[in-house]
Structure 1
Amino acid sequence: MTISKRAVRTHVVTWGTTAALLAGAWVLNAVALPENAPQTGIVVAGEAGAPTSTRNLVVTVDDVRAARSVADADGWTAEGTWLIVDISAQAIDTQVGARLGLADLVIGERTFRATERGQTFSEAKLVPGVPRSGSLAFELPPDALAGDAVLRFSPVAFPNLDGMIEIPVDLDAVPIETQVTLRATDWTKGPEATQ
């Protein structure tokens, strides 16, 4: 009994395709995250004083201050341990849904969300090419103003699998003032206007 060349070619293609599919499945299984893997945003590292961008958000941390009391221009005040972050931000591509959706401070294993009390930049609406500036305030436990921290910003409240900006902060280098007045949220001039 003789086997035709066509039959041999069919068997070779079938076995070759099977081997390729098995190898692809093995690679996919090797690189896939386990079911219990944490879902984190796509992190873009930046530094204070420099613009850092992700998806539809550009953020610049202008100043970081600490205080035992904060106040705003409308007369709101609060006592406690506060970290105040002055920022400028703008959208990149679209105004639709553009806002500062996430503003967190991570110290060790603890995460603090920017307060919405008083006149703050929390969840400010943004437009492309027109920066806004203001202050974010984080109320902290008295022992938290030490060590290293990370500021996290994102255009969405839950940045799982989305862009997230991270800016490191050395809390030991931040002087503690008696009272800080929050910067009013307002439109600012962009870098091109200052040239």
Structure 2
Amino acid sequence: MRRARLWLIGGTLVLAAGLVSAVTPSEDAVYDAFLVRGDGPVTGRTLIADVDGATFTPTISSSGGDWEAEGNWLVVEVIASAPTTEVDAEIAIATLRLDGRVFQASERVRDSIVKTRLHVGTDTRGILAFELPAGIDGGRGELRLTTQYLTPQLDDVVVLPLSLDDAEHAPRIDVDRPEVTGR
């Protein structure tokens, strides 16, 4: 009887150690970003953002006609502004998370809203273009926007849901420069 009790206590201790190990965050988690999620305008520390639509297209070009690319493009229209200060108020990194994969907004599209200075009390409307692998034309994803370059540490990341099943399809999209609009 005593031996069985020792085995039971030992098993319980192993289970408790496994549970503690499973719920303990990693060292990197101490520096992770804070995800600020929402439907509609989402306000973070340095960014207010909303999605105004998404369109799939096989051809994207600059409005001046000096650049063009073909592929499976997803163009997301974003409305963004600064909440309280214009210091560091710009979208530095935009990623699309879709089915466990992460796509970064294309740097080839020069007229995107990435790196555009944002202003307090005034919206800026622009696009983000994602070059996706062939065959992706639907699903549910999330758009992540941050004002910090590379990995935001101990800062917030604006997360907006994106339904690609509802996205429009267009034969061609001409990209205009971001436009400052009133509220």
Give TM-score scaled by structure 1 length: 0.74
- The list of structure 1 runs, each at least 4 consecutive aligned residues, that deviate by more than 6 angstroms after superposition, is none
In structure 2, C-alpha distance between the alignment counterparts of 1:185 and 1:85, rounded to whole Å = 12
The one-letter code of the counterpart of 1:184 is R
> Across the two proteins, how many residue pairs are aligned to each other?
160
In structure 2, C-alpha distance between the alignment counterparts of 1:73 and 1:111, rounded to whole Å = 28
Aligned with 1:172 (options 165, 168, 173): 165
Query: 2:84 maps to what in 1?
Result: 93
Query: 1:11 maps to what in 2?
Result: none
Q: Secondary structure at the match of 2:135?
A: helix
Q: Tell me the CA shift for residue 104 of structure 1.
A: 0.6
Q: CA RMSD in A?
A: 2.3
Which stretches in structure 2 are left out of the alignment for 5+ residues?
1-20
Which residues of 2 match residues 177-188 of structure 1 at below 5 A? 177-188=170-181
Query: 2:153 maps to what in 1?
Result: 160
Change (3 A) 1:39 1:171: farther
Aligned with 1:123 (options 107, 115, 119): 115
Q: Secondary structure at the match of 1:172?
A: helix
Query: 1:4 maps to what in 2?
Result: none
Q: In terms of Rg, which structure is larger? A: 1
Indicate if the aligned counterparts of 2:54 and 2:164 stay in contact, CA closer than 8 A. no
Query: 2:136 maps to what in 1?
Result: 144
Query: 1:134 maps to what in 2?
Result: 126
Aligned with 1:74 (options 64, 70, 76): 64
Give TM-score scaled by structure 2 length: 0.78
Identity of aligned residues (%): 31
Indicate if the aligned counterparts of 1:115 and 1:122 stay in contact, CA closer than 8 A. no
Which residues of 2 match residues 28-107 of structure 1 at below 5 A? 33-35=25-27, 37=29, 40-47=32-39, 50-75=40-65, 76-107=67-98
In structure 2, C-alpha distance between the alignment counterparts of 1:84 and 1:162, rounded to whole Å = 26
User: What do residues 41-84 of structure 1 show as CA deviations (whole Å, max 9, x unaligned)?
Assistant: 2111122xx21110010012111111111122121211000110
In structure 2, C-alpha distance between the alignment counterparts of 1:147 and 1:62, rounded to whole Å = 17
Indicate if the aligned counterparts of 1:107 and 1:144 stay in contact, CA closer than 8 A. no
In structure 2, C-alpha distance between the alignment counterparts of 1:166 and 1:43, rounded to whole Å = 6
User: What do residues 96-135 of structure 1 show as CA deviations (whole Å, max 9, x unaligned)?
Assistant: 2221122110112211111122311112111222221111
Indicate if the aligned counterparts of 2:59 and 2:73 stay in contact, CA closer than 8 A. yes
Indicate if the aligned counterparts of 2:105 and 2:130 stay in contact, CA closer than 8 A. yes
Which stretches in structure 1 are left out of the alignment for 5+ residues?
1-28, 191-195
Could you say which structure has the greater relative contact order, defined with CA pairs below 8 angstroms and 6 or more residues apart? 2
